[in-house]
Amino acid sequence: MTLLILGLILWIVAHYFKRLAPDLRASMGNPGKGVVALLIVVSVLAMIFGYKWAPFIPVWFPPAFMVHINNLLMLVAFFVYGMSATTGRLRGKMRHPQLTAVKIWAVAHLLVNGDLASIILFGGLLAWAIGSVILINRAEPDWKRPKPGDAKKDILVVVITLVMFGVVAGIHIWAGVWPFPG
């Protein structure tokens, strides 16, 4: 559990560094980007292995139907995340699509995982995403909404959403977690 918590803390510190210490981060130049990227990779590995190795301590017992809600929310999360990269009509509909997708992802996983390690991991990343939105909005209160593009590009986001959902479901199956209701 310690490795999981350390990974989560490292993730938060690495991501908040630019917002909380902008002058220090700027003084590091391009090598600083590499250091932050390395810290993020290390934090992800620590969270993955910390979660895998954490003891299973049940806190609550999610009902089976939550798997359906989780899968629906995951489709929404992939779609919302994809909105950040689209040049279609959806561009600019939401200020923080990636962070919103992380929030949806975290809530979806909290609905189907009732153990302490899951609550720490997904709850911690949910708190990080909420905090990130607050920090960004305070630092940059004026957001210039991008102009919408071609609607055909939005169809591509739907296709990518479905493909990514399939890939991630496959990774879960490979890792021994069946993501679909029995």
For 47-99, how does the pLDDT look when each residue is reduced to its tens digit (9 = 90+)? 999 999 999 999 999 999 999 999 999 999 999 998 888 888 887 788 999 99
The structural domains of the chain, with segments of one domain joined by +, span: 1-54, 57-182
pLDDT, mean of residues 3-23: 93
CA 42, chain centre distance (Å) = 16
Give the predicted TM-score (pTM) of the model.
0.89
What's the confidence (pLDDT) of residue 182? 65
CB 124 within 8 A of CB 132: no
Q: What percent of the chain has pLDDT over 90?
A: 66
- 16: pLDDT strictly greater than 90: yes
